[in-house]
Amino acid sequence: MNSTPQSETDEVKIVDGIHYHQFDVVIVGAGGAGMRAAIEAGPQAKTAVITKLYPTRSHTGAAQGGMAAALANVEDDNWEWHTFDTVKGGDYLVDQDAAEILAKEAIDAVIDLENMGLPFNRTPEGKIDQRRFGGHTRDHGKAPVRRACYAADRTGHMILQTLFQNCVKLGINFFNEYYVLDLAMTEVDGVKQPSGVVAYELATGTLHVFQAKSIIFATGGFGKIFKTTSNAHTLTGDGVGIIWRKGLPLEDMEFYQFHPTGLAGLGILLTEGARGEGAILRNASGERFMERYAPTIKDLAPRDIVARCMVQEVLDGRGAGPNKDYVYLDCTHLGAEVLETKLPDITEFARTYLGVDPVVEPVPVFPTAHYAMGGIPTNVQAEVLRDNDTVVPGLYAAGECACVSVHGSNRLGTNSLLDINVFGKRAGNAAAAYAKTADFVPLPADPTKEVRELVDMLRNSTGTERLSTIRKELQEEMDRGAQVFRTDESLGNVLKTIHDLRVRYTNIAIQDKGQRYNTDLLEAIELGFLLDLAEVLVFAARNRKESRGGHMRDDYPDRDDEKYMKHTMAYLSGDPHSPDPEDHITLDWKPVVVTNYQPMERKY
């Protein structure tokens, strides 16, 4: 498929060098959520997918372990147990109506993918095989359950390929290597409404305006605010950053998940599916230390718990290696056949990047920044919220960039691939339904003004700062002060550093001044989004004086349901360049939706 397809239905108007397109539904992002939305919206409405990557390079393809669904193919299971595990795993900050939808619709989501052609692993009877995963249990926590449907340890890759093939079959319009840099908003009856998006075409440097009745953001996460991360270099939070700069809120940004098993020193992911198959975490003395922390489900406790336990082992002097700064993932007892057939990718990763063969020796691992639980607030129909209750008409979000909130303060493994399919499907259907009855909102008089000014400023800057230096310092400071363990002091230090970096960012210069394939320019723009989102994350984390899920405060080690059993809502409320974030970030609260499960002590 061409990088700039011109379908029969895409009539392009060029005014002053700006290309104008018109679609009923525009989807920003071509990962799992974006393409699942496109499969629903495409047959119902004139649909375009805009992506800064070729679709099959999207980060969904890096997901390894599986997709949860209570199929009960291997052992007894039901969607209510899955709902409970999701709520408990999220440390009770999960909106339970969303969790019920996720668990109920999981079964159809898996069967949809199977019917599209996804090659799941099979049981001897020919059913979709399932394996254990962290935090997934039977009988409301009594024992681990096999709930994760998987395709070896390449499940995300298989999902991405399957969805892309089905999009091609449907003739979806793809605009590949187009960077969406702004959301056009037009005032209607005193309220700003979305009217389109502005994109920068990488191949030419041309700006494109896509007017749309419905717009879906499915732009993924922002793990590159951290140095040690499982995220690709492209996960810079552009979509979340655009929403933030438009004055719309972000929800629960302080909750970031650190996956327990990243390759030590590198952050490259080793799937939780390895522990689902029976791999064991051990400290330097060979002790299976998770038996002390989570005696019931041990190594298959939720990720936030396992990550903290691993770090605690290192802090207590039981770490391995020359610097005693990691622990081991022991797969040796699984045997070569299991590793080569069910876990081939992680086996190869360990051999390639660390020179360690998991068949005969344990693999050095340590937590790595992995997944944003927070993001663009939506309701269960994937409609973006302007505040706690008010919907922004025609604007939707799904996947990691969105906060339903189905993951609360800690996402269970395999619920992300499920999330993108369940809520990606819902977003596509809702966007198409809205487009059938809505009119186009007129574009602003000059929709590209802000993007042109930003691009011209960066391209013409004669500053002395290098963006690679600022990005490196941001990532190292986030690792130092806002990772698994946090304190008021560490978060305060990070905020000071971010402010200094934001000042220096105004003095950056890029080396490439050209128009075609100017990745230097786009990396500079991405860095601006990273600085914005890092500041919101740390500011919200400093405000939440408790420990819950992925947010662990050493100075406030207990969960405080009386004060903090509620979502954080952050608003951009002033000049973002002011020295004190309190001058431009306002925090508010949003109630958690509770249906069947009252907060309880989290024992595993």
- What residues form the annotated binding site for FAD? 29-34, 51-66, 238, 400, 416-417
Alpha-carbon span 7 to 452, nearest angstrom:
27
Helical pair 519-543 and 488-505, crossing angle rounded to 10 deg: 150
Pairing relation of β-strands 207-217 and 402-403?
unpaired
Contact by Cβ (8 Å): 212, 24 = yes
Of 146, 303, 459, 602, the catalytic one is: 303
Is it true that the peptide bond before 405 is cis, omega within 30 degrees of 0? yes
Measured between alpha carbons, how far is 507 from 510 in angstroms, rounded to an integer? 10
What is the sign of the dihedral through the CA atoms of 303, 531, 236 and 242?
A: positive
User: Quick count: other Cβ atoms within 10 Å of Cβ 140?
Assistant: 12
What contacts 404, CB < 8 A, 6 or more positions away?
Answer: 95, 98, 378, 379, 380, 382, 419, 423
Residues in the chain: 604
φ, ψ at 186 (rounded to 5°): -125, 135
Q: Where on the phi/psi map is residue 140: left (φ > 0), alpha (ψ -120 to 50), or beta?
A: left
CA distances from 559 to 91, 284, 538, 551, 555 (A): 9, 31, 18, 10, 12
The SS3 of residue 380 is: coil
Query: Is 303 tagged catalytic?
Result: yes
Binding residues for substrate: 259, 271, 370, 411
Distance (Å, whole) CA 421 – CA 38: 11
Cite the annotated binding site by residue number: 29-34, 51-66, 238, 259, 271, 370, 400, 411, 416-417
φ, ψ of residue 417 to 5 degrees: the values are -65, -30
Q: Which residues are catalytic?
A: 303
